[in-house]
């Protein structure tokens, strides 16, 4: 088979039919399979997926999660079932025009030296300035502290050759930060620009708080430098305190005992207390991640699947 399309879906009832129609039209001349993952949607997404499966059982496959496990788990489950020459991940909300799939396939066909294509979001005109600024800060920070390279705007809208998919599936970590994983596995990546379209129906699951959580998660997952930063800050303060102690001792011997100011004392205590709590917090984040990974829980649980061999239609 030439192409597998992996499509994570969370509350996308209004987009299933249109996306299926667009994909079917675009991939008319291609040997393909669509792997839809219903990530515990609370609306009628699964019913809609079942409808398109019944209409088009040759091309449609559905993995139905037992609850919401998140987009990264959905992507992982789709990739584990992919077996085509190329596999592409595309959002289920029609923001990424399927016409780009043909460009990507064409590019890989003609450029054997490239192993994966990452689509880079062209700035959405109406994107809020604060959002843009925060994203810019995130990329420059994570690139400074992580050995993995993160290209600004590179999305999960990617096409891989089969061996890249196999490598990605080898990373069995539970807490998955897909963007980092796609970059960590290496390979020769081509970055292609595209214009993000408006969501066809429904609303985005990634509000500003979720985006913060996502960014924080990415930093903890792909760098241990925050731990080192905490150590360095601690060392600097300890050294400062030691020098200050010597100064105070000398002053005491020369000019007699002096009672330092209340305000400076309180601010120092609060500052040091704050830094200590922050350092413990950073440590805690890594311990928590280690604890969760140690349990070796599955990345997702599927209630049933449609279109695969051991079919179990509910």
Using CB under 6 A, list all residues that contact ligand UDP: 8-10, 12, 39, 68, 70-71, 74, 91-93, 95, 204-206
Q: What are the two backbone dihedrals, phi and then psi, of residue 307, each rounded to the nearest 5 degrees?
A: 95, -5
**Smallest distance from the beta carbon of 238 to Mg ion, in angstroms?**
47
Place of tokens 């300890």: 238
The binder of 74, among Mg ion, ligand UDP, none, by C-beta within 5 to 8 A per type, is: ligand UDP
Residue 61: in which H helix or E strand, if any?
A: strand 60-65
Residue 35: in which H helix or E strand, if any?
A: strand 32-38
When the beta carbons of 91 and 115 are compared against Mg ion, the nearer one is 91
Residues 6+ apart with CB under 8 A from 88: 3, 4, 5, 6, 101, 104, 157, 158, 159, 160
Q: Taking CB under 5 A as the rule, does residue 156 contact Mg ion?
A: no
**Smallest distance from the beta carbon of 65 to ligand UDP, in angstroms?**
9
When the beta carbons of 106 and 123 are compared against ligand UDP, the nearer one is 123
d(C-alpha 115, C-alpha 111), whole Å: 9
Pair of tokens at residue 180: 């980092």
d(C-alpha 169, C-alpha 262), whole Å: 59
3-state secondary structure of 158: strand
Task: For residue 38, list its beta bridge partners.
Answer: 9, 64
When the beta carbons of 15 and 189 are compared against Mg ion, the nearer one is 15
Binding mask 75-94 for Mg ion (x = CB under 5 A): ----------------x-x-
**Smallest distance from the beta carbon of 203 to ligand UDP, in angstroms?**
7
273 burial level (CB within 10 Å; 0-12, 13-18, 19+):
exposed
The binder of 226, among ligand UDP, Mg ion, none, by C-beta within 5 to 8 A per type, is: none
**Smallest distance from the beta carbon of 12 to Mg ion, in angstroms?**
9
Figure out which of the listed residues 95, 96, 121, 183 binds Mg ion, where binding follows CB under 5 A: 95
3-state secondary structure of 297: coil
When the beta carbons of 33 and 93 are compared against ligand UDP, the nearer one is 93
**Smallest distance from the beta carbon of 149 to Mg ion, in angstroms?**
24
Instruction: Give residues in contact with Mg ion (CB under 5 A).
Output: 91, 93, 95
């Amino acid at each position: 088979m030439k192409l597998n399309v992996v499509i994570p879906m969370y509350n996308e009832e209004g987009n299933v039919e249109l996306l299926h129609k667009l994909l079917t039209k675009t991939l008319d001349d291609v040997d393909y399979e669509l792997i839809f993952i219903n990530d515990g949607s609370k609306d009628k997404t699964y019913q809609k997926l079942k409808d398109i499966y019944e209409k088009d059982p040759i091309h449609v496959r559905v993995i139905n999660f037992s609850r919401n496990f998140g987009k990264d788990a959905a992507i992982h489950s789709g990739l584990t079932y992919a077996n085509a020459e190329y596999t592409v991940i595309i959002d289920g909300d029609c923001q990424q025009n399927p016409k780009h799939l043909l460009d990507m396939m064409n590019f890989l066909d003609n450029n054997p030296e490239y192993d994966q294509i990452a689509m880079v979001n062209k700035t959405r005109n109406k994107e809020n300035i604060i959002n843009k600024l925060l994203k810019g800060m995130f990329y420059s920070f994570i690139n400074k502290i992580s050995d993995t390279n993160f290209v600004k705007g590179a999305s999960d809208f990617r096409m891989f050759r089969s061996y890249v998919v196999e490598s990605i599936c080898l990373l069995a970590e539970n807490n998955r930060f897909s963007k980092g994983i796609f970059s960590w596995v290496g390979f020769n990546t081509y970055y292609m620009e595209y214009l993000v379209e408006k969501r066809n129906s429904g609303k985005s699951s990634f509000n500003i708080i979720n985006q913060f959580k996502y960014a924080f998660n990415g930093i903890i997952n792909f760098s241990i430098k925050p731990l080192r930063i905490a150590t360095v800050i601690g060392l600097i303060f300890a050294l400062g305190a030691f020098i200050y102690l010597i100064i105070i001792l000398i002053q005491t011997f020369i000019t007699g005992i002096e009672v330092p100011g209340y305000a400076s004392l309180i601010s120092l205590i609060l500052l040091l207390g704050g830094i200590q709590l922050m350092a413990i917090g950073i440590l805690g984040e890594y311990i928590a991640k280690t604890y969760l990974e140690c349990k070796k829980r599955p990345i997702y649980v599927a209630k049933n699947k449609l279109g695969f061999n051991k079919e179990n239609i509910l």
